[in-house]
Chains A and B, each alone.
Chain A
Amino acid sequence: MFDFNSNNQPSGHDFSRRAFIRVGGLAPLGFGLSSLLASEAARAKDGSQELTARAKSVLLVYLGGGLSHHDSFDPKPDASEEVRGKYKTIETNVPGLRIGELLPRMSQTMDKVCLVRSGAHNNDHHETATNWVLSGRFGTPFGDWPAMGAVASHEFGFDGTIPPYVAIPRNPSFTWELGKSAFLGGRHESFKVGDPNDKSFRVRDLFAPEQLPDSRVQRRQSFLKTIDRLAERVEGSDAIQSYDQYQQRATSMVLSPKAREAFAIEKESDEIRDRYGRNTFGQSCLMARRLIESGVRFATVNYAGWDHHAKIFESLDKKLPEFDLGFSALIEDMDRRGLLESTLVVCMGEFGRTPKVNKDAGRDHWGPAASLLFAGAGVKPGVVIGATDRDGAFVTEKPFAPHDVSYTILSSLGIDPRKHLFTADGRPVEILENGRWMQELFA
């Protein structure tokens, strides 16, 4: 409904910025970015358990393309051969739980995670489903709704020298970029870290392209001050204030040891880097851990390439071990460092894959069933929730839709999913239209 009656200032819209520009006085410096500078507080609005912030950050490992649940976390050893596929199952350190044999390290890590075998929805289009699961709202393939990370960025703002929302190495994409900030605008897009496995890895533009002596750095800043007097002559311009604010942010990020430190993956020991795996995925997980430690509120590790319509077992023979190594390392490492308490870790794709292996020895898109992993932030570890039928085709217990997952993720951060945001044309929309708190995940 339109905001007829309330005094809600539309957020992220020109109105709220102008409200604070007074005639006759310097507008409060950077007011227009109050949403960026505002400190966040746990928002237990009505005392309900749901909205209490349980996590300071979210770490989302996104398996673009769609993870085959039959061959990983929801194997069906008793089904027919064309359904159960090539792999056998192995025991895990959760009594009664067996998973695919290519996940030995995960089998010893399942006691730290919660396995949900009942992700379900009715869409099998990559872009549409990806945008759906990343935002919690069903829309067009082009992404009409902001990804959860962008919402987090919008709600928490820039707290210190690290951007609140990062993507490692970049956003998911097929033909075009997905999981974007939609109407929340450019300032809430994820900060793209790049590939930390690159030998010459450097965050794009984060470091000066050449080593400059302090004297030259100072000189540049002093020249900038001398020349750039526009702000002195023009009051009341939101664009100018934004520019100055971001310029300062950029400079402090570059100059701040803390910011540079956060991205300095080379500081990790060889041992730990090997443990995560010397590949893009493994190093991205390690980078995500570092960034969460440094204060990033929402980190997405984009691990694509699961779309195996043909020769799936050949591909998974290589990919599952890589996943196994990296993700188990991530969970162990975060646990050891005490990060799981304050971080919600989620691992999911945009859908599962078809129960029957097709004529090209592959599996196709399958919305009605998928497996997801959760850990940290009060999630019950060592538990399996939900189940699929004998063929892993349809959910028989506790189905969860993408909006339920998003509802839970946002609520964990203390963000009220029913809160209104404002689109570019002033239309108020709730962050999520549907969805419920996945009570079953929590103790």
Chain B
Amino acid sequence: MLSTHFHGRMLSFAALAIAAGWFSCVPIRQAVAQLPDMPSFGNNVEPVLTRFGCNSGSCHGKLAGQNGFRLSLRGYAPEEDFKSLCEEEAGRRLNLIDPDKSLLLLKSTGQMPHGGGKLFDINSEAYQVLSKWIASGAGGPRSEDPHVVDLNVTPSSLSLEISQSTLLQVHASYSDGTKRDVTWLSRFHSNDAAFATVSPTGELIAKRHGEVSAVASFQGLVDTVVLTMPFSSTINEEQYTILGDSPANRAIDQHVMAKLKLLHIPPSRPCDDSTYLRRVMLDLCGTLPTADEIREFLTNASVDKREKLVDRLLERPEFIDYWTLMFGDLLQNRKERDHDVRGAKGVRAFHTWIQNQVAINRPWNEFARDVITASGSSESNPAVGYYVVTVGEKQAAESEVADSVAQAFLGTRIGCAKCHNHPLEKYTQDDYYHFISYFSQVVLDRKSPNDGHTLLSHGTQHLKNLQRQLQKSEEELAKLRSEAVDDKKIEEKLASIKRQTDEVEKARLSPPMVRQPRTGKQLSPQGLDRRPAEIVAGSDPRVRLAEWLTSQDNKAFSSSIVNRLWKHFFAVGLVESVDDLRDTNPPSNQPLLDSMAKELIQSHFNLRHVMKLIATSQTYQLSSDTLTENAGDTRFYSHYYAKRLPGEVLSDAITQATGVSDVFQGYPLGTRATQLPGPQIDSYFLTTFGRSDRVTACSCERSGDVTLAQLLHLQNSEALLDKLRKDGGNLNGWIAETESIDLLLDKCFLTSLSRYPTNEERESLKAAFEAADRKEVAIDLYWAILNSKEFTFNH
């Protein structure tokens, strides 16, 4: 069958192919024409192994391999894979004399038992590539082989009706200028299979109204297609009108409305004043409005009262407390698990430091810079605590600090790339180690609180050792001098000190480097955009890192923080999840994200400015009540998405509603949960309601999940009952001093639900009061209120 002549071979293939029927639907002529005389391991073989899942994480690509055969995950290490295929197992995987008898082919076509099953047919395209490669001598990866430099999927965006489909095409551009259709070798992935599915051959099928992106990947490169599936309701232009021309309207609402219009999703109506007041106060300050504040706001007739409210809230101490809590989560302010060196005191100090930044509305780029470049003693510079926690007892370049910094400040999860290339992003293992190289000259001199303060200094352990030795020598010299010894001894000591001084200087000036564990290469600091950093010898590389990271040009830096802020208010980020920003995970509204990032940069990284835009936008003021036509929308902000209150906020809300404070061990009575510096303070309530343990920088640490234990607690906890019944608590006070049931109802509702009872509620509740013991009825009513979603959610 196999002639040695190229054309003859092609004819044979073609004949066989036509006869046997091709596995993929790629035109024969095109595919056959692409197969060179000696298939390249890197460009022909490896893609087949990736495409058919051989090197996937559930098969041979996992760390331990499968049944004794290991490949690099998705082919990130072709040289290793070549070895595994050719050299291991006495070469039985490949049969150069009779390629069809190679284990590689027998197993993948199911002719021999194979845990992974049959992956492709005999004489399929994949089979041809592998068998031809074996027949041609099974050459390894060659440095002169062209490599892929770009990947393009077409179309890059489109609109479909439900159940309609389209066939995607993927083209790869190579370093030698050639371009190849690699559709049959690409892997496809839908970012949300509920909205659209994509088949292994690239058929994209629309499933549900909305918008979704799909990703094509090939040889470590990725490209994205955005699919829009508008709802079918007809558009009523009026519904999408923006009522004004404020900065918020321009920065936010025009983009939101444009998207809703494109998708035929009508927005809900605006929310009323009492809803707005409660909502914005909870979102900005983590507190409920008081009854007086509500009354004042509702009767205030000025047209700009909502904007003025926002201005006031941004200055309140509760605002500062709440955002200190939020940034405490981001910066992982907690005690350490093992051999904690800062103690609760250190956590409190860092908490105060953060509080100061929030209080003066420190520009975010400066705030970030101070954390990243923190040095000195943890006592005089509490921000050093960030390194104490993320570096811990390890060497900085072997610790989690790079992961934390990337996640917290860039919204990027580079951690995957520590061991293998990132599956859905372009980050390679080299990128990871280049990045962590910035931290290779951080030395943490940990001291338990009794022994002194932990010190972060610039340098390496090696340098520190040399410096210590030098100091020792100098002390010895002083001793020798004072003992009036032989001149010769002194000279020797001086010479030794000179040598040591030179070594210290050499070490001090040595460039930062980190060893890439797989390749063994020494890698210097480089941003994730792969531009090498120019680091002055002897300077702290983190300074350059901070410059690169906080630069106006660094889209990830500005986008990630505005995305986090967005999510805080709107429950759903423009990018989800907030620490997974990548090209293959596009925002639900790109112009909107760009606009918000621009606002941040142009305001000199002013976070309050962004918050004000959000809080005064028309979008933010939409009701949470859904319309039939927008009830299915969970990404485009057609209505305010009701969300469970964070643990600390709920705890404080219960305190505020009942007038009885929680007791937090070690803190004065009256301390609110949002004021607590860290998760080490014991609280069943806070733990049960998902307080962040701050173990990692992951946004998932704080949980908004609803659980059984929470509902049981709200229903039956003694603590809650105690608050309802307590002398000096609100209920008892009101019952004692309020004659009219109407007024009593008003107080109950205003203080807890931030609104007046409806007529229906009033009638029904009044009847209950008149029929039984007032005190008991009041407790039952309040119990019901505190257990209601209207109370426990922001809506």
The residue in chain A whose Cβ has the minimal distance to the Cβ of B717 is: A205
Q: How far is the CA of A186 from the CA of B690 in the complex (A)?
A: 8
Contact A220 B716 (CB under 8 A): no
B376 interface hit (Cβ, 8 Å): no
In A198-256, which residues have CB < 8 Å from any B CB? 204-210, 216, 219-221, 223-224, 226-231, 233-237, 239-240, 242-244, 246-247, 249-251, 253-254
25 contacts between A and B (CB under 8 A): A1-B53, A1-B58, A5-B187, A5-B200, A9-B193, A18-B634, A185-B703, A186-B690, A187-B708, A192-B709, A216-B776, A220-B780, A221-B784, A226-B765, A227-B785, A228-B784, A228-B788, A237-B641, A240-B789, A242-B706, A246-B707, A247-B711, A249-B708, A253-B712, A427-B423
* Docked-complex contact B189 and A209, CB < 8 angstroms: no
Question: Does A425 reach chain B (CB closer than 8 Å)?
Answer: yes
* Residues of chain A with a CB closer than 8 A to B53's CB: 1, 5
Find chain B residues with CB under 8 A from A142 CB: 337, 695
- In the complex, A434 Cα to B64 Cα: how many Å? 9
Query: Which one of A24, A27, A205, A237 lies within 8 Å of B715 (CB-CB)?
Result: A205
- The 10 A-B residue pairs whose C-beta atoms are closest, nearest first, are A1-B56, A23-B632, A223-B784, A235-B631, A228-B788, A250-B711, A19-B194, A205-B712, A236-B631, A242-B706
The reply to whether B717 and A231 form a contact with Cβ atoms under 8 Å apart is no
A7 CA to B207 CA, complexed, in Å: 12
> Which residues B762-795 have CB closer than 8 A to chain A?
764-765, 768, 772, 776-777, 780-781, 783-785, 787-790, 792-793, 795
| A22 at the B interface (CB under 8 A) | yes
Which residues does chain A contribute within 8 Å of B57, judged by CB atoms? Answer: 1
State the B residues within 8 Å of A (CB).
53, 56-59, 61-62, 64, 74, 187-189, 192-194, 197, 199-200, 208-209, 231, 337-338, 413, 423-424, 577, 580, 624-626, 628-634, 639, 641-644, 684, 690, 695, 698, 700, 703-713, 715-718, 721, 753, 760-761, 764-765, 768, 772, 776-777, 780-781, 783-785, 787-790, 792-793, 795
Q: Which of A5, A21, A206 has the most CB of B within 10 A?
A: A5
Residue of B nearest to A249 (CB): B708
Query: For A254, what are the chain B residues with a Cβ–Cβ distance below 8 Å?
Result: 712, 715-716
For residue A240, which residues in chain B have a CB less than 8 angstroms away from its CB? 642, 789, 793
Residues in B neighbouring A175, C-beta threshold 8 A:
337-338
Cβ–Cβ contact B64 & A186, under 8 A: no
Most buried by B among A192, A205, A246, A254: A205
Distance of A92 Cα from B360 Cα, bound (Å): 74
Q: CB-nearest residue of chain A relative to B415? A: A425
Q: Is the CB of B795 within 8 A of A230?
A: yes
Cβ–Cβ < 8 Å partners of B793 in chain A? 230, 239-240, 243
- Whether A2 contacts B424 by the Cβ 8 Å rule is yes
Besides A5-B53, A243-B792, A243-B793, 7 other CB < 8 A contacts?
A9-B194, A23-B629, A186-B705, A187-B705, A224-B787, A233-B626, A236-B626
Establish whether residues A239 and B709, one from each chain, have CB atoms under 8 Å apart when the complex forms.
no
Q: Is A189 an interface residue (CB 8 A)?
A: yes
> Max chain A CB contacts within 10 Å: which of B208, B625, B784?
B784
| With contact pairs A224-B787, A230-B790 given, residues A250 and B628 touching in the complex (Cβ less than 8 Å) | no
Give residues of chain A (331-367) contacting chain B, Cβ–Cβ below 8 Å: none
Q: How many inter-chain contacts with C-beta < 8 Å in the A-B complex?
A: 210
CA of A27 to CA of B194, assembled, Å: 15
- Within the complex, what minimum Cβ distance (angstroms) separates A30 from chain B? 12
Q: What separation, in Å, do the CA atoms of A424 and B695 have in the docked complex?
A: 15
Chain B nearest Cβ from A403, distance in angstroms: 11
Known pairs A1-B61, A9-B193, A23-B632; A230 contacts B642 (CB<8 A): yes
With A2-B424, A236-B631 already in contact, the answer to whether A433 and B712 are too (CB < 8 A) is no
Q: How far is the CA of A420 from the CA of B58 in the complex (A)?
A: 9
A7 contact set on B, CB distance < 8 A = 193, 197
User: B717 and A24: CB pair below 8 A?
Assistant: no
**Which of B194, B690, B718 makes the CB contact (< 8 A) with A209?**
B718
- A189 contact set on B, CB distance < 8 A: 707, 709
> Which of the residues A141, A205, A424 comes within 8 Å of B713, measured between beta carbons?
A205
Assembled-state Cα–Cα distance A424/B634 (Å): 18
Q: Which residues in B have their C-beta under 8 angstroms from that of A243?
A: 644, 706, 711, 789, 792-793
- List residues of chain B with CB within 8 A of the CB of A239: 642-644, 704, 706, 793
Query: A234 CA to B772 CA in the complex, in Å?
Result: 33
Beta-carbon nearest neighbor of B763 in chain A: A226
- Cβ of A430 < 8 Å from any Cβ of B? yes
What A residues does B768 contact at CB under 8 A? 219, 223
* Residues of chain A with a CB closer than 8 A to B337's CB: 127, 141-142, 175-176
Set of chain B residues within 8 Å of A209, measured between Cβ atoms: 716-718, 721
Inter-chain contacts of A249 with B (CB < 8 A): 708, 711
Given contacts A1-B53, A230-B793, contact A246 B58 (CB under 8 A): no
A216 to B780, CA, bound (A): 7
Q: Is A163 an interface residue (CB 8 A)?
A: yes
CA distance A428 to B413 in the complex (A): 16
Bound: A27/B789 CA distance, A: 18
Would you call A230 and B789 a contact (CB within 8 A)?
yes
- Give bound CA distance, A242 to B712, whole Å: 14
Asked if A15 is at the interface (CB within 8 A of a chain B CB), the reply is yes
Chain B residues within an 8 Å CB radius of A206: 712, 716
Nearest CB on B from A143, distance (A): 9
CB neighbours (8 Å) of A236 from chain B are: 626, 631-634
Binary CB contact string for chain A from 46 to 75 against chain B (1 if under 8 A, 0 otherwise): 000000000000000000000000000000
Q: Do the beta carbons of A251 and B715 come within 8 Å of each other?
A: yes
Q: Which residues of A contact B631 (CB under 8 A)?
A: 21, 23-24, 27, 235-236
* Interface-central residue, B56, B708, B781, by most chain A CB under 10 Å: B708
CA distance A385 to B790 in the complex (A): 58
Q: How far is the CB of A219 from chain B (nearest CB, A)?
A: 5
Chain B: minimal CB distance from A47 (Å): 16
